[in-house]
Structure 1
Amino acid sequence: DKKLIIVLLDNHGFGSINGLSKSCGSLGFGNRFRYRDPKTGKLTGEFLEIDYLKNAKSLGAHGVEAKTRDQFKNALSEAKDSTRTTVIVVELEPSRGPSYDSWWDVPVADVSEMPTVQKARENYEQNVKKERYHL
């Protein structure tokens, strides 16, 4: 039998895409798993509580939550010793994570009425001039 060790990084939605969207001048939309705010009807309420451990267990996997580095090391060791597929759930900071020493060439809209997008386009045009090709 084959088994998997799955590390599920829970940032309450699509955090990296949300950051990318905002870096392109957008306000971000639909990238967070949130309840609607009862006053505004917008998706700015509390984060949805998704029980990934129960989901993993419902599929026959062993589920472990890791909230600290030591818990993660122990969970990984336990998963390696197990004969079953194991899902290790690690909750991350829902906002931006650490930055990287690289630039992702994602074109920004060339035409927009939003000042934030216009500024992001200016930044994009400057950065694309510095892009290096490795061929």
Structure 2
Amino acid sequence: MIFKRRTKPINLEHIDQIDELAATGKPVFLDFWQNGCQSCRTMDGVVSELADEYQDSAHVVKVNVRNVPAAAQRFRVMSTPTFVVYGASAKKQSKKSKRQGGGIGERWRASGLVKKDQLEKALERNGAARADR
């Protein structure tokens, strides 16, 4: 096949979707953005590439901070774009961390223009693997 349809990022519609996605065991990569943000537009292509390249091992989610302000508040987003990797730790949990909430939480964060390789490293350190092509 010459042309293959690319996997697109998930557009978050409600804050509860984040926990539903994290419950699958895959890391959740959150891209907080807003209309009128030039840096967000610049990073949009990179985020779309990540969604396609890590489609089998991570959830790549775009969060419009104006449409889902509760998500921006929950993750204390002060500027856009902000990127967060959320989910269970890829490392083995201690008994203490299991008792304190199961180990699901924020694993990595960055704001502004971020190089693609840094985003890839953040995903891979948290259990994601690039899809075979």
TM bin (shorter chain): under 0.3
Q: Taking structure 2 as the reference length, what is the TM-score of the superposition?
A: 0.23
* Bigger strand share: 2
